[in-house]
Amino acid sequence: MAESWKLTLPCTRAEAEAITEDMGALALLEPPPALMTSEREEDNSESWELHAYFEGKPSPKTVKLVQAMLPSSLGAKAVLEKLPDEDWITLSQQGMEPVIVGRFHVRNHVDDAVPEGLVPLLIPAGRAFGTGQHETTFGCLAMLDRCRRIGERFGSVADIGTGTGLLAFAALHLWPRCHATASDIDPAAVEVSAQNAVLNGVVLGRGRGELALCTAPGADHPLIQARAPYELVIANILAGPLIELAPSLAAILSDGGTLILAGLLEGQANAVIDAYRAQGLRLVDRMEAGDNNGRHWPTLRFRKRPAIGWRRPRRWQADANGEAPGFGSW
């Protein structure tokens, strides 16, 4: 068996998506390396890294070729290490074990076996956010499962910042007759969601049991507005955008509707809760998942109080415009 080597380089989210979509000249190597991208900092969606697995030690020329495909890595130290004598393809897939959350089995590889009785969801890793590996996605899936177990019924669902589409797919499995809408600010994520929908047997469209997709910053899109109000809104993004979007997310939620929020750390929860209380929502449930670094990631469930009369939703910040950059499911 040839020696196995791993090359690690920092990169941006855009570079990670581009290199996994098109290996360029690396595809001409014999054999080509296996590429895996992952977030370096779980609370910084733009900080990623590339792991390239080679059979045999890559030459300095090959290392420079990889760096040239990751402009942000120029000047950064390339980490090159020899791996134990194991199957390098298997090594390249470490850390991507299937995730079981409630009734859901989320796998990143089509060959992973699905235990009997679980709902299978296939989300290939590395192309958008929301593979089920992060605690925030785990928390959202668990909260959706809990909603179904306690008898919640939703006829209209919106997943804001959908990433891979995973949470929208899960909602459609739980409430198969609902009208579902999913959006992301990143067109590439919307494209990935459409591809993942095919893999998971989700029909794209605007009818019952179908998923409508659009590219939008937050809830600012004619499709989202036209299909409002929603009985369930899901947003797994970051604390800052969640606070910024409080007025617009509250506005598209029906009276008595449910809002599930994630993407925030424990120390950010109170600010997010206050922002949504100011919009007439009350916190009804909270779940937390801890990571290996000792951090806790809450998932919050709100209920919108029935309106008495009508009043304009209040902006959480005087200079807010209801939009915020960089939100997508993790």
- With residues binned 3-state (H G I as helix, E B as strand, rest as coil), the percentages for the chain, rounded to 5, are 30, 30, 40
Q: What is the enclosing helix (H) or strand (E) of 249?
A: helix 246-252
Residue range 283-319, pLDDT digits in tens? 999 998 876 667 788 999 999 988 655 555 444 444 4
> Which residues make up the CATH 3.40.50.150 domain(s) of the chain?
99-304
> Which CATH number is 99-304's, of 2.60.120.260, 3.40.367.20, 3.40.50.150, 3.20.20.70?
3.40.50.150
How far lies 136's CA from each of 87, 123, 291, in Å? Answer: 31, 16, 10
CATH 3.30.70 maps onto the chain at: 4-92
CB of 9 within 8 A of CB of 73? yes
Q: Write out the chain's pLDDT in tens, 330 residues.
A: 467 888 999 998 888 877 765 677 787 777 778 777 777 765 666 788 888 888 889 999 999 999 988 999 888 889 999 877 654 444 444 456 788 899 999 988 777 788 888 999 998 865 445 545 578 888 999 999 999 999 999 999 999 999 889 999 999 999 999 999 999 988 888 998 999 999 999 999 999 999 999 999 999 999 999 999 999 999 998 888 999 999 999 999 999 999 999 988 888 999 999 999 999 999 999 998 876 667 788 999 999 988 655 555 444 444 444 444 444 444
CATH of 4-92, one of 3.30.2320, 3.30.70, 3.30.420, 3.90.320: 3.30.70
Count CB neighbours of 170 within 10 A.
28
